[in-house]
């Protein structure tokens, strides 16, 4: 009985922490990673190579959610003055350094290297902690322009959490939050507060599946600030800090929307909306797309 009571006494605190975790990237992450030698950058915005490979393994395991999609990791700016040009990314272990090519859209893939795994290497860009954030990018090829597929995005959430791309400042809080996320199946919640980022500032997001179509509430855009306004100073703890107008939530756990649901993004600088073009596409069949690779 005592154990039961203790469990529920801790729960609210852990949940509050978890919410912050999902929103925020570390301002100045302190990790227990093995010592590495970085001559050009102190306090870099690094991630665990081991965890990112675990994310890739989960992607393979759940590939059925996005059968024709590919996985890439992506770097995004977190500060107004972050220079996203010329980023140099490396896998750095005790005795191994592997350069990682970055595409012009700031995405990259990781190769498996057993030595780097054994050395619990870190994935390190030449940018300081808090200057960038990380996400997965899972895209089914051939979707219509400005369109994503819900199954891809469901998988982005799962892989992103598995790879520990979204985390908070203090290690203890991060560990607690990871525990809670693991217990709850966060991405399967009806409305998880997992931030997705669009290519450009958003005005509207519409879900379409079969004959059903629904525009998401503005409360699902812009990190939900229309519903929960918070002071500007708190924005610095959100990894949406400079991407606020590009953020949206999705009803990932609402299974009345199938994985093949199309998620149409209407941007602020778009001209007229063309819902008809979506209705003509019953599934994620390959088509020319400027967004899909």
Q: Which residues bind other proteins (CB under 8 A)?
A: 11-12, 15-16, 18-20, 22-23, 80, 180, 183-186, 189-193, 201, 203-204, 212, 214-219, 222-235, 237-238, 240-242, 244-245, 247, 251, 253-256, 266, 268, 273
* Spatial separation of the C-alpha atoms in residues 285 and 270, rounded to whole Å: 24
- Contact present, 160 and 19 (Cβ < 8 Å): no
CB atoms within 10 A of CB 132: 23
Structure tokens of 69?
């999609």
Considering beta carbons, is residue 103 or 273 the nearer one to other proteins? 273
Considering beta carbons, is residue 149 or 246 the nearer one to other proteins? 246
161: phi then psi, degrees, rounded to nearest 5: -75, -40
CB atoms within 10 A of CB 211: 7
H or E segment at 277?
Answer: helix 275-279
- Contact present, 186 and 192 (Cβ < 8 Å): yes
* Spatial separation of the C-alpha atoms in residues 81 and 99, rounded to whole Å: 25
Considering beta carbons, is residue 244 or 281 the nearer one to other proteins? 244
Considering beta carbons, is residue 193 or 274 the nearer one to other proteins? 193
Say if strands 70-77 and 122-125 run parallel, antiparallel, or are unpaired: unpaired
Considering beta carbons, is residue 52 or 278 the nearer one to other proteins? 278
User: Closest distance between other proteins and the C-beta of residue 147, in Å?
Assistant: 17
Considering beta carbons, is residue 147 or 220 the nearer one to other proteins? 220
The tokens 């649901």 sit on which residue?
261
Considering beta carbons, is residue 12 or 35 the nearer one to other proteins? 12
User: Closest distance between other proteins and the C-beta of residue 146, in Å?
Assistant: 15
98: phi then psi, degrees, rounded to nearest 5: -120, 120
* Spatial separation of the C-alpha atoms in residues 241 and 144, rounded to whole Å: 29
User: Closest distance between other proteins and the C-beta of residue 262, in Å?
Assistant: 16
* Spatial separation of the C-alpha atoms in residues 268 and 200, rounded to whole Å: 8
User: Closest distance between other proteins and the C-beta of residue 204, in Å?
Assistant: 5
User: Closest distance between other proteins and the C-beta of residue 100, in Å?
Assistant: 29
């Amino acid at each position: 009985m005592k154990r039961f009571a203790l469990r529920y006494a801790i729960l609210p605190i852990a949940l509050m922490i978890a919410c912050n975790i999902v929103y925020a990237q570390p301002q100045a992450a302190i990790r227990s990673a093995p010592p590495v030698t970085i001559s050009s950058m102190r306090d870099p915005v690094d991630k665990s190579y081991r965890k990112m490979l675990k994310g890739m393994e989960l992607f393979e395991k759940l590939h059925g959610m996005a059968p024709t999609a590919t996985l890439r990791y992506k770097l995004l700016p977190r500060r107004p003055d972050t220079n996203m040009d010329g980023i140099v990314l490396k896998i750095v272990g005790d005795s191994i350094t592997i350069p990682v090519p970055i595409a012009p859209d700031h995405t990259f893939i990781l190769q498996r290297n057993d030595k780097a795994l054994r050395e619990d290497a870190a994935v390190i860009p030449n940018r300081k902690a808090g200057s960038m954030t990380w996400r997965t990018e899972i895209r089914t090829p051939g979707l219509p322009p400005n369109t994503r597929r819900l199954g891809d995005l469901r998988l982005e959430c799962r892989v992103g959490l598995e790879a520990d791309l979204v985390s908070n400042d203090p290690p203890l809080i991060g560990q607690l939050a990871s525990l809670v996320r693991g217990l709850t199946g966060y991405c399967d919640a009806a409305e998880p507060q997992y931030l997705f980022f669009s290519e450009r500032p958003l005005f509207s997001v519409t879900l379409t599946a079969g004959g059903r179509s629904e525009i998401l509430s503005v409360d699902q855009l812009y990190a939900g600030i229309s519903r929960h306004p918070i002071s500007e100073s708190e924005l610095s703890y959100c990894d949406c800090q400079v991407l606020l107008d590009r953020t949206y939530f999705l009803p990932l756990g609402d299974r009345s929307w199938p994985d093949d649901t199309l998620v149409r993004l209407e941007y602020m600088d778009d001209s007229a909306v063309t819902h008809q073009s979506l209705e003509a596409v019953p599934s994620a069949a390959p088509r020319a797309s400027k967004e899909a690779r």
